[in-house]
Amino acid sequence: MQPTNVSDPKYYHRVVDCQWACPAHTNVPEYIRLIAQGRYTESYLLNRETNVFPGILGRTCDRPCEPACRRSRVEGKPVAICRLKRVAADHKDEVQAMLPAVPAKKNGKRVALIGAGPSSLTVANDLMPLGYEVSLFEKHERAGGLMRVNIPSFRLPESVLDEEVGYILNMGVDARFGTPVESMRRLLTEGFDAVFVGSGAPKGKELDVPGRWDAPSQIHIGIEWLANVHFGHVESIGKRVLIIGVGNTAMDCCRTSRRLGGTDIKVVARRSRPYFKASPWELEDAEEEGVQIVENHAPKRFVTENGVLVAMEFERLEWTTDASGKQRSSVIETVAIPADAVILAIGQENAFPWIERDIGIDFDQQGMPKVDRGTMQSSRPGVFFGGDAAWGPENIIWAVAHGHEAAISIHNHCQGIPVEDRPPQGMTLASSKMGMHAWSYSNDYSPAARTSMTHAELSTRFSTLSVEVELGFDAEQTAREVERCLNCDIQTHFTANLCIECDACVDVCPVNCLTITANGDEVDLRTRLSAPAENLTQALYASAELPQTSRIMVKDEDLCLHCGLCAERCPTAAWDMRRFDLLQPYAGRPAGSARSLPLAAVSA
């Protein structure tokens, strides 16, 4: 192998599994350490830098970071990264004064944002401090998008949403609520320098089976129904409720039904559990509330009597894998499940009836806009897409990540820089050595199991729709959970010419990460290390030739605990534990330039 180039930010970034997996690349281990030190405000601001909505995401994030967390490869479940984020948000001080300032003098560029969901709000958050005049068009009366009208308030309290959306709107955004954009052509004549489409994927999918239209008042489309609940148009539902589909929307529908009078609630899925789209924790939360999950049932028809829905018929399926590895179903029997209401939660679709097809914005055959993955730009220069509007339904954190990228593009576009010119990422790497065997992080390993979230009592939970179910971590829970983090950003940094090949590091490593051996290609090296390096998604580090024997130091990053023992046992400090900080560029702010850094909070 060639010696690993650790000055490329990508190498160490990849080692920080959670940060790598986070679409916005939130610096998880650093914010967890700040929480551990009780520096909640700094932790919040560090979060906000990348993910903009720490309080919201600390409750609702799809958390792609957690399945990636190294801790789960080492022992037990991943660190409760998401719920720790909420701790920072719950306990922070007043942050308004520490948010990026917005100049009174504008830069003369006007940007239109369509839809007030998280993607548009992120664009506004990034552009307002640069002096842009931002107009936000939203068909509803309030901002937040699906976060407001679809995510139920028992998961996301309105006050949390209002606060974080408020930080952005208060920057002086020209918010035009109750103003649907009905013609893109017309909007484009209004002289905006750039337009961002963050209108989401607003259409719930239909289920076209017999009887669908026989009792329309009892059959609902999930996301519409949730919005109607939010607006108070719907206040109750029948006792026996069937939810068709088993994704995130289904989970919110079943739990909301439970709060509106449903007593016998079943979520019915075509497939079996391992194939469900809902996350395991969502299923757990629903089942805790008495919702029943029915597997392997395919909807066949609605059964109505005298115009009243009484049941739904399903085909019970058995799934087998054929020779080519494809899953096939066969029908075992037809069953009818009695129902007073059915909610369809089988997915969302995009719809852009308000974008004319002859204005240079190209769409594909599925009716999706053609959007560049790197720049978020459509085929019409100056028109950008992001969030669910770009490539279909995703989640909040992806919407935020898109928003940051789109803001960079919009800034480039308005400043006459090609949108393809992406500002590079940077990094800093600083020793965390504080003394002989003292580090600036807690390097001891905690064998504690993942802290589970405390929930409100079932009895109080159903009294009002908005009683928040999750109570957040208390001080003890927080203190325990932060110690489970392995500090993967504290990198094992190697200086080959200092090594005297004493083997101390190799011998002490608890998880056999290190090997000193003759060089070879990666495939070969992976087979002759201290322990087999079979996880190909994890990098091998290879050093330059060692001075005494010309062998090389190889590290399998896979299970490293970042315990620092290699560095503590190294006589020459060839190994050092160094804190890696990924510097990300934002619109108008190259990597590493003025940040709303946690430190700002210290001096305040």
Ligand X SMILES: Cc1cc2nc3c(=O)[nH]c(=O)nc-3n(C[C@H](O)[C@H](O)[C@H](O)COP(=O)(O)OP(=O)(O)OC[C@H]3O[C@@H](n4cnc5c(N)ncnc54)[C@H](O)[C@@H]3O)c2cc1C
Q: Is 550 in the site for ligand SF4 (CB under 6 A)?
A: no
The interaxial angle of helices 40-51 and 396-415, nearest 10 deg, is 60
**From candidates 198, 299, 564, 598, binder to another protein by CB under 8 A:** 564
Quick one: 335 or 531, whose CB is closer to another protein?
531
Between 82 and 525, name the residue whose CB sits nearer to ligand X. Answer: 82
Residue 55 to residue 291: CA distance in whole angstroms: 27
Nearer to another protein, 54 or 564 (CB): 564
Which of the listed partners (another protein, ligand X, ligand SF4, none) does 445 bind, with a CB threshold of 5 to 8 Å by partner kind?
another protein
- Taking the least distance from each CB to another protein, the nearer of 183 and 572 is 572
**C-alpha span between 316 and 288 (Å, rounded):** 25
Nearest to 219 by CA among 351, 292, 312, 313: 312
Query: At its nearest, how many Å lie between another protein and the CB of residue 532?
Result: 5
Interface mask (CB under 6 A) for ligand SF4, residues 473-492, using x and -? -------------------x
Encoded amino acid at 524, one letter:
D
Cβ closer to another protein: 279 or 538?
Answer: 538
3-state class (DSSP) for residue 317: strand
Which of 489, 428, 376, 384 is CA-nearest to residue 25?
489
Work out which of 46, 485, 566, 601 binds ligand SF4, going by CB under 6 A: 566
Span 573-602, contacts to ligand SF4 by CB under 6 A: 574-575
Instruction: Provide the angle, in degrees to the nearest 10, between the axes of the packed helices 248-259 and 280-288.
Output: 10
Mapping DSSP to helix (H, G, I), strand (E, B) and coil, where does residue 538 land? coil
Binding mask 499-518 for another protein (x = CB under 8 A): -xxxxx-xxx-xxx------
Identify residue 555 by its one-letter amino acid code. K
**What is the nearest approach in angstroms of ligand X to the Cβ of residue 142?**
9
- Contacts of another protein in 442-501 (CB under 8 A): 443-445, 447, 500-501
Cβ of 208: how many Cβ atoms within 10 Å?
A: 7
Least distance CB 396 / ligand X (angstroms): 4
Distance, in Å, from the CA atom of 52 to the CA atom of 61, rounded to the nearest integer, reads 12
| Cβ-Cβ contacts under 8 Å for 256 (sequence gap 6 or more) | 152, 226, 229, 465
Q: Is 534 in the site for another protein (CB under 8 A)?
A: yes
Residue type, 535: N
Task: For residue 520, count other CB atoms closer than 10 A to its CB.
Answer: 15
- Please identify, using beta-carbon distances, which residue of 153 and 432 lies nearer to ligand X: 153
Minimum gap (Å) between residue 445 Cβ and ligand SF4: 9
Interface residues with ligand X (CB under 6 A) are 60-62, 114-120, 137-140, 145-147, 150-151, 180-181, 198-200, 202, 223, 226, 248-249, 252, 354, 387-389, 393-397, 399
Is 527 a binding residue for another protein by CB under 8 A? The answer is no
Q: What span, in angstroms and rounded, lies between the C-alpha atoms of 534 and 527?
A: 8
Which of 327, 548, 594, 602 is close enough to bind another protein by CB under 8 A? 548
Q: Which CB, 199 or 443, lies closer to ligand X?
A: 199
CB of 207 or CB of 511, closer to another protein: 511
Q: Which does 492 bind (CB under 5 to 8 A by kind): ligand X, another protein, ligand SF4, none?
A: ligand SF4
Check: CB of residue 540 under 8 Å from CB of residue 530.
Answer: no
Angle (CA) 518-521-527 rounded to 5° is 75
Q: What is the dihedral of CA 279, 281, 285, 286, to 10 degrees?
A: 20
541 binds another protein (CB under 8 A): no
* 83 neighbors 471 (Cβ within 8 angstroms): no
Stretch that binds another protein, among 88-96, 154-162, 476-484, 526-534 (CB under 8 A): 526-534
Nearest distance, CB of residue 527 and another protein, angstroms: 12
Other C-beta atoms closer than 10 Å to the C-beta of 171 total 17
504 is an interface residue for ligand SF4 by CB under 6 A? yes
User: What's the closest the beta carbon of residue 482 comes to ligand SF4, in angstroms?
Assistant: 19
- Provide the token pair at 477: 């829970």
Q: What 8-state DSSP symbol labels residue 217?
A: G
For ligand SF4, the binding residues in 505-534 under the rule CB under 6 A are 505, 508-511, 513-514
Q: Which stretch binds another protein (CB under 8 A): 122-130, 151-159, 389-397, 439-447?
A: 439-447
Provide the strand spans (E) within 41-179: 110-114, 133-137, 174-176
Q: Alpha helices of 198-347 — where are they, by DSSP H?
A: 222-230, 248-259, 280-288
The pair of structure tokens assigned to 332 is: 């075992």
Shortest distance (Å) from residue 100 CB to ligand X: 20
Task: Give helix 158-169 / helix 118-127 axis angle, nearest 10°.
Answer: 40
- How many angstroms separate the CA atoms of 74 and 446, rounded? 12
Note whether 569 binds another protein by CB under 8 A.
Answer: yes
Interface residues toward ligand SF4, by CB under 6 A: 492, 499-505, 508-511, 513-514, 560-566, 569-572, 574-575
Q: Rule CB under 8 A: which residues touch another protein?
A: 74-75, 437-439, 443-445, 447, 500-504, 506-508, 510-512, 531-532, 534, 548-549, 559, 561, 563-565, 568-572
